[in-house]
Amino acid sequence: MSIFGFHYRMESKAIGLTIGIIVVASIGGLVEIAPLFTIHQTVEDAPDMRVYTPLELAGRNIYIREGCYACHSQMIRTLRDDVDRYGPYSLAVESKYDHPMLWGSKRTGPDLARIGEKYSDQWHVAHLNNPRDVVPVSVMPAYNWLMTTELRTSDLGLHLKAQRAVGVPYTDDMIANAAQDAFAQANPDSPLADGVTKRYGKATTMRSFDGKPSVLTEMDALVAYLQILGRLTEAAHKPVAQAEAAK
């Protein structure tokens, strides 16, 4: 009997066809689900992993709102060309606190997984204000209104609380002080700045990202987010350092 003949016979028997569909779907589901049982063995440890500050999280929200993920991926593949161009390939643990994840697959623009501190704040501000000013052939749209739009901070605590609900370890203290921590991170001379380093660590980047410390703008938030990409943990750089030490 040909395979087509068998298929026609199956279609004529509703119960048999239903059972066949369940079996095939179960196999596919098992292939997808089984690896999750070993997830703790495959995801790398990152004791130095830190959470996004309220300002960085606000910048991430703006990044999502403006659809930046549609043209920029945030996952460096293990391919040699990717590693040579962007740096160490991405590890699963680096997206531990990303909800939703922004790995992406389309690269109209370059991958941004390790863009943090690669360029100055001034470069990012100029690029977002008018991409052609720094990259003449860029097809990226301008986001010049970010510089004049004041960042809404009144609901940042709720954003942190929502993130905690899906596993990000924000404390009650972080949630209660979210709005003032966002302002203080972009105003390092503020008396509130010590609270940011106390809650998020001394390595937290404290500076006026858009060059105007008097007003907290959406540009501050987005640049703060871009400058932390690839820097929440040094886990991806450890294998490189170990290999160099072995040589």
3-class DSSP string for 151-220: CCCCCHHHHHHHHHHCCCCCCHHHHHCHHHHHHHHCCCCCCCHHHHHHHHCCCCCCCCCCCCCCCCEHHH
DSSP bridge partners of 217: 150
Examine residue 109 and state whether it is found in any structural domain, yes or no: yes
| Alpha-carbon 119 to chain mean position | 18
Q: 144 near 129, Cβ under 8 Å?
A: yes
**Do 32 and 81 reside in the same domain of the chain?**
no
Examine residue 235 and state whether it is found in any structural domain, yes or no: yes
**Do 28 and 145 reside in the same domain of the chain?**
no
The letter for the amino acid at 9 is R
pLDDT of residue 56: 98
In total, how many domains does the chain have? 2
Examine residue 48 and state whether it is found in any structural domain, yes or no: no
Residue ranges making up the domain that contains 191:
54-246
Q: 147 near 121, Cβ under 8 Å?
A: no
**Do 21 and 81 reside in the same domain of the chain?**
no
Examine residue 34 and state whether it is found in any structural domain, yes or no: yes
**Do 34 and 79 reside in the same domain of the chain?**
no
Q: 218 near 153, Cβ under 8 Å?
A: no
Q: Which residues of the chain have pLDDT under 50?
A: 241, 243-244, 246-247
- Tokens 């100055």 found at: 120
pTM above 0.95, yes or no: no
* pLDDT > 90 fraction of the chain, expressed in percent and rounded: 74
Count Cβ atoms within 10 A of the Cβ of residue 100 and give its class: 0-12 exposed, 13-18 middle, 19 or more buried: exposed
Q: What is the pLDDT of residues 144-158, one digit of tens each?
A: 999 999 999 999 999
